[in-house]
Protein backbone atom coordinates (compact mmCIF):
# COMPACT_ATOMS: atom_id res chain seq x y z
CA UNK A 1 0.00 0.00 0.00
CA UNK A 2 1.22 3.46 -0.88
CA UNK A 3 1.83 5.92 1.95
CA UNK A 4 -1.15 8.25 1.90
CA UNK A 5 -0.28 10.65 4.69
CA UNK A 6 2.91 12.40 5.83
CA UNK A 7 1.93 12.58 9.49
CA UNK A 8 5.03 10.80 10.77
CA UNK A 9 7.34 13.10 8.79
CA UNK A 10 5.57 16.27 9.95
CA UNK A 11 5.67 15.12 13.58
CA UNK A 12 9.45 14.71 13.31
CA UNK A 13 9.82 18.09 11.59
CA UNK A 14 7.80 19.74 14.38
CA UNK A 15 9.66 17.79 17.10
CA UNK A 16 6.42 16.28 18.38
CA UNK A 17 5.56 12.68 19.21
CA UNK A 18 2.64 10.50 18.26
CA UNK A 19 1.85 10.28 21.97
CA UNK A 20 1.63 14.08 22.16
CA UNK A 21 -0.73 14.18 19.17
CA UNK A 22 -2.86 11.38 20.62
CA UNK A 23 -3.22 13.33 23.88
CA UNK A 24 -4.16 16.53 22.04
CA UNK A 25 -6.77 14.72 19.94
CA UNK A 26 -8.12 12.52 22.75
CA UNK A 27 -7.17 9.41 20.78
CA UNK A 28 -5.42 6.20 21.74
CA UNK A 29 -1.67 6.36 20.98
CA UNK A 30 -1.95 3.09 19.06
CA UNK A 31 -4.48 4.73 16.73
CA UNK A 32 -2.08 7.58 15.97
CA UNK A 33 0.70 5.02 15.47
CA UNK A 34 -1.42 3.30 12.81
CA UNK A 35 -1.89 6.66 11.06
CA UNK A 36 1.85 7.32 11.18
CA UNK A 37 2.63 3.95 9.63
CA UNK A 38 -0.19 4.34 7.07
CA UNK A 39 -1.93 1.18 8.31
CA UNK A 40 -5.05 3.29 8.87
CA UNK A 41 -6.05 6.84 8.00
CA UNK A 42 -7.65 9.54 10.14
CA UNK A 43 -10.98 10.96 9.06
CA UNK A 44 -10.94 14.38 7.41
CA UNK A 45 -12.00 16.30 10.54
CA UNK A 46 -9.20 14.67 12.55
CA UNK A 47 -6.69 15.38 9.80
CA UNK A 48 -7.69 19.05 9.80
CA UNK A 49 -7.45 19.24 13.60
CA UNK A 50 -4.02 17.55 13.46
CA UNK A 51 -2.83 20.13 10.94
CA UNK A 52 -4.03 22.94 13.20
CA UNK A 53 -2.25 21.45 16.22
CA UNK A 54 0.95 21.01 14.20
CA UNK A 55 0.61 24.50 12.70
CA UNK A 56 0.80 23.30 9.11
CA UNK A 57 -1.55 23.43 6.14
CA UNK A 58 -3.60 20.25 5.89
CA UNK A 59 -2.10 19.72 2.42
CA UNK A 60 1.29 19.22 4.09
CA UNK A 61 -0.11 16.09 5.76
CA UNK A 62 -1.18 14.45 2.52
CA UNK A 63 1.10 12.87 -0.07
CA UNK A 64 0.40 14.07 -3.55
CA UNK A 65 -0.49 11.36 -6.06
| Angle, alpha carbons 32-36-39 (nearest 5°) | 90
Euclidean distance between CA atoms 34 and 18, whole angstroms: 10
Euclidean distance between CA atoms 33 and 64, whole angstroms: 21
pLDDT band at 58 (very low <50, low <70, confident <90, very high): very high
pLDDT for residue 65 is more than 80: no
pTM for the predicted model, two decimal places: 0.90
Question: Which pLDDT tens digit goes with each residue over 1-56?
Answer: 578 999 999 999 999 999 999 999 999 999 999 999 999 999 999 999 999 999 99
63 CA to centre of own chain: 12
Strands (E), the chain: none
Determine the pLDDT at residue 63.
Answer: 85
- Secondary structure letter of residue 53 according to DSSP: H
Amino acid sequence: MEDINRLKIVLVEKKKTGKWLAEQLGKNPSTVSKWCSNVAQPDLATLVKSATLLEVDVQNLINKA
